[in-house]
Amino acid sequence: MFFKFNLPCRKSWLGCLVSLSLSFAGSPLLAQTAPASADSAAKKPAATTSGSNKAKKKTNNTKATKKAVAPSGTPQGSRSVADANNKPTTKANASALKSSTVKPSTAPKARNTAGVAVAGVAAASVATAGSITAVRSNVVLVQDLSSNTTLFSRNDEIARPIASITKLMTAIVIVDANQSMSDMIEVTTSDIDTVKHSRSRLPVGTKLSRSDMMHLALMSSENRAANALGRNYPGGMTAFVAAMNQKAKQLGMTQSRFVEPTGLSSENVASPRDLVKLLQASASRPAIRQYTTDIQHEVRTSGHATLFRNTNMLVMNPTWEIKVSKTGYINEAGQCLVMMARINNRDMAIILLNADGKGTRVGDAVKIKQWVQQAKVVAGLDGTQSLDSILTQ
């Protein structure tokens, strides 16, 4: 069966359908999904708030961590950090922390009374003009032998006891006398130290060649070996001491005097500038250069091998190029060390006397080497000539 609707009726029927559709859209079936969307919307802000709180906590923790870390300029090993109990930083603590921070120096270059200026502070602790404050030896002289320029000096004006540095002069006299180095020399009771009562590893009756005796006297500072060399000089000990003083005059050592060959007597004296001349004379004799810089030497004493080592540990350091070396010690002289070393392709004389300990004299030598290598000091009496220019002349 078919029904025919006229146009007005069709329009009315379509209108009813539209109304039914609108009513259905607002029915409870659709409304059931609405609360879920609302809950999601409500939860999202809550999650955002929680994330915000976490972010704030993280920020606070970051701030706390930053308070616990010392300033970047603070030296390693002495960094100041916040209390382990995380106590808040007070104004007083903040002030102390700030004062402990090391800052680059902006102070102008200083000058001492001699007019020597400082270009900066080196790792060797060069801090004041014309002086190396970290060098602790009482008597210091550093001289560039190529130009005869004095790079640094302290208390170098007078002659003073030089202890076993005396043995360099002993060796020069022996070498220049052209005595056979293969001749055998025996240690006797006459070689026992009755002045300082020092010990020796050369028992009475030990027989060694003149070469070995000189080797041990220079390298290990063996007093009995040095004394035996003097005794076996033509004319005996009296002639030997006279030859020592005559050689000093020939070398231009006008402030020096010798009374025996070992250095045990405090009457063996020389000025630092005389010791520079002694180093130069020693360096010109190959045997002395070799023996003073050998690391160790073995000889037979009392029927068994005995190993002797150098008294200057720096000869074992591959970063040093040492041409002549001699240590010394008696109470009146303090710890002593003289060396000719090659630094910055220049021969340098380093004289260190009257130090407080063995470690002090070696440490001072290391600091001087660093000081010269880093060329941080402006040298020259007028304060205008740089150390770099001096070392490259």
The predicted structure's pLDDT at residue 133: 59
Separation CA 30–CA 24 (nearest Å):
9
**Which three-class secondary structure string do you get for the chain?**
CCCCCCHHHHHHHHHHHHHHHHHHHCCHHHHCCHHHHHHHHHHHHHHHHHHHHHHHHHHHHHHHHHHHCCCCCCCCCCCCCCCCCCCCCCHHHHHHHHHHCCCCCCCCCCECCCCCEECCCCCCCCCECCECCCCCCCEEEEEECCCCEEEEEECCCCCEECHHHHHHHHHHHHHHCCCCCCCEEECCHHHCCCCCCCCCCCCCCCEEEHHHHHHHHHHCCCHHHHHHHHHCCCCHHHHHHHHHHHHHHHCCCCCCECCCCCCCCCCCEECHHHHHHHHHHHHCCHHHHHHHHCCEEEEEECCEEEEEECCCHHHHCCCCCEEEEEEEEECCCEEEEEEEEEECCEEEEEEEEEECCHHHHHHHHHHHHHHHHHCCEEECCCCCEEHHHHHCC
- pLDDT at 174 (0 to 100): 98
**Residue 358: predicted pLDDT:** 85
Q: Please tell me which of 31-45, 80-94, 98-112, 346-360 the model is most confident about, judged by mean pLDDT.
A: 346-360
**Please, are residues 140 and 131 in contact by the beta-carbon 8 Å criterion?**
no
Average per-residue pLDDT for the chain = 75
**Binning pLDDT at 50, 70 and 90, where does residue 134 land?**
confident
Q: Which amino acid is at 53?
A: N
Beta-sheet pairing, 304-309 with 207-209: unpaired
> Alpha-carbon distance 369 to 350, whole Å?
9
Supply the pLDDT for residue 73: 33
- Active-site residue (options: 167, 247, 323, 376): 167
pLDDT tens sequence across 190-228: 999 999 999 999 999 999 999 999 999 999 999 999 999
Q: Residue 15's pLDDT is what?
A: 52
Q: Say whether pLDDT at 79 is over 50.
A: no
Per the CB < 8 A criterion, the answer to whether 330 and 264 are in contact is yes
Q: Is the pLDDT of residue 10 over 90?
A: no
Residues 356-385 pLDDT 10s: 988 999 999 999 999 998 864 444 433 334
126-130, 146-150, 268-272, 327-331: least confidently modelled range: 126-130
At residue 18, does pLDDT exceed 70? no
Give the count of beta carbons closer than 10 Å to the beta carbon of residue 153. 18
Catalytic position from the list 221, 256, 265, 282: 221
72 is catalytic: no
Average of per-residue pLDDT across 4-18: 48
Contact (CB, 8 A) for 348 and 142: yes
- For residue range 279-315, what is the model confidence (pLDDT) as tens digits? 999 999 999 999 999 999 999 988 899 999 999 999 9
Active site (annotated) includes residue 167: yes
Catalytic site includes residue 63? no
Contact call for residues 353 and 138 (beta carbons, < 8 A): yes
Give the model's pLDDT for residue 376: 44
Tens digit of pLDDT for each residue in 227-279?
A: 999 999 999 999 999 999 999 999 999 999 999 999 999 999 999 999 999 99
Look at residue 319 and tell me whether its pLDDT is greater than 80.
Answer: yes
- Comparing 74 with 231, the larger pLDDT belongs to 231
Domains, the chain, in order of start with CATH, read 106-157+344-393 (no CATH), 159-319 (3.40.710.10)
Using N-to-C axis directions, what is the helix angle for 272-283 and 166-176, rounded to 10°?
40
User: Who wins on pLDDT, 121 or 54?
Assistant: 54
The values of phi and psi at residue 50, to 5°, are -65, -45
Q: Identify residue 387 by its one-letter amino acid code.
A: L
Contact between residue 71 and residue 97 where contact means Cβ atoms under 8 Å apart:
yes
Rounded Cα distance, 342 and 347, in Å = 5
Catalytic residue, from 153, 164, 220, 265: name it. 164
Q: 19-23, 117-121, 145-149, 266-270: which has the minimum mean pLDDT?
A: 117-121
Does the pLDDT at position 6 exceed 90? no
- Please give the radius of gyration of the chain, using alpha carbons only, rounded to the nearest integer: 43
Residue 53: Cβ within 10 Å count? 10
